[in-house]
Chains A and B, each alone.
Chain A
């Protein structure tokens, strides 16, 4: 049986990461390593610092303390703060994906679905219309969007379709790491289930690593291998997802888990 993950080196490493806004501490002392193919859920209530953490990890925000390192495709682990802006943006367009809670933030709403998916390819120099379109079309299929809608703009799509389109747009360059900010947040429960199943399959088929910020413990249970519980800007508990959710240790985690409505 292929043992892929144990021998591998970490893809992303956070060390003593912190962010202050003046005297306000949004996030502090966060350290962990994420390995290829691993899905990490960051859970906690609004204001717990999980969104700040996501921005720090994805280099959209400069940390006040600590650092984030990422293993580039050449195998070298590099401090994100030391990357040039061009390199950082290139990473963002190729090796990373970012799925926003609100698809309008991650999509060009007035541009056709095909161009939305194709944009990253064109950004890395694809210059053949036919091939770009074929690739976009096969990605629409993968995320279960009727390819007949390839020329429609996402503003004509339903919420669930938009979110699936956003995922296709991110995955088209075959990133190794995807950041997700409440990916099922604004969707109906029925649509959520389908999306979660789709994401789960894509993540395992592509061997993606992902960091998923969510306040929904059910999403964490379905998608993630590991979970970090945040409160007041700190990680208070971390471990295997089912371990943390079935055998929570910290008072706050026990409160979170006990607050889930029975299915």
Chain B
């Protein structure tokens, strides 16, 4: 089986120009792969570079060296050297990203925030809204809130809206950055369920999870990020 994600010797360094050009190495020699239907969990202490690796796979952080191969519509594209347009295309139809925090346009209704990835991919608005509603219901967001913008919600509610937005699409790769961080036990269980469903659909996932229990529930493989720590 061909890997969905195949990373070889990827590296990342921040240069802080405002601090006199300090070089801040983050990771180097990052190498691992993720197969369809597999969930790889990145482990390591805070600051080890887990989030940075996730962002590199999403094309959010630029990759300073190495290779990040992504299977996109039948071909493998190296995200480290891809054109912006290719990255956009990959995000539209291959990689979904559930960030730690919800970032949405102010004053847009919750159901529209969640439905947006589907609409962007050409799904009709009513169907997209219906699917958004179903997911919001599973994640225990009461229906009376759907028409409100999520900026007024509690942290946990915003996180669940964020998860709904991330899980709604049928993308073959999902990146999860602390999807269960501020959730209660019941909602954590829903997220675990959602991840199981995605696995059955053959979705390749990379996740960061601090909660040991959740990690054991979802991880098929654990990649220790400290192996990639840059010698400063």
Q: Do chains A and B touch in the complex (CB under 8 A)?
A: yes
Chain A interface residues (CB < 8 Å from chain B)? 1-3, 5-6, 35, 38, 193-194, 196-197, 200, 204, 222, 225-226, 239-240, 242-243, 246-247, 249-251, 254-255, 258
**In the complex the two chains form, is A225's CB within 8 Å of B17's CB?**
no
- Determine whether the beta carbon of B89 is less than 8 Å from that of A242: no
Asked if A193 and B85 make an inter-chain contact with CB atoms under 8 angstroms apart, the answer reads no
Min CB–CB distance A190 → chain B (angstroms): 8
Complex: A39 Cα to B207 Cα, angstroms? 31
In this complex, how many residues of chain B approach chain A with their Cβ under 8 Å: the count is: 27
Q: Which stretch (B36-44, B56-64, B176-184, B220-228) binds chain A?
A: B56-64
Question: How many Å lie between the Cα of A254 and that of B17 in the bound state?
Answer: 7
B122 touches A1 (CB 8 A): yes
Nearest A-chain residue to B63, judged by Cβ: A247
Select A255's contact among B18, B59, B61, B88, beta carbons within 8 Å. B18
Question: CB within 8 A of A247: which of B62, B93, B107?
Answer: B62
22 pairs across A/B with beta carbons < 8 Å?
A: A1-B93, A1-B122, A3-B73, A6-B85, A38-B85, A197-B107, A197-B108, A200-B105, A204-B120, A239-B62, A239-B84, A242-B60, A243-B62, A243-B87, A247-B14, A247-B55, A249-B15, A249-B62, A250-B17, A254-B17, A255-B17, A258-B18
| Nearest 9 interchain pairs by C-beta | A251-B17, A193-B106, A247-B61, A1-B93, A240-B84, A197-B105, A193-B107, A254-B17, A226-B84
| B201 interface hit (Cβ, 8 Å) | no
List of B residues within 8 angstroms of A247 by Cβ = 14, 55, 60-62
The contact string, 1 if C-beta is below 8 Å from chain A, for chain B 58-83, is 01111000000000010000000000
Q: Is B121 an interface residue (CB 8 A)?
A: yes
Residue of B nearest to A223 (CB): B105
How far, in angstroms, from A246 to B52 measured CA to CA in the complex?
11
B86: CB under 8 A from chain A?
Answer: yes
Residues from chain B with Cβ under 8 Å of A193 in the complex: 105-107
Closest residue to B94 on the A side, CB-wise? A1
The answer for the CA separation of A38 and B86 in the assembled complex, in Å, is 12
Q: Which of chain A's residues have a CB closer than 8 A to the CB of B93? A: 1, 3
A222 vs B116: C-alpha distance in the bound complex, in angstroms? 14
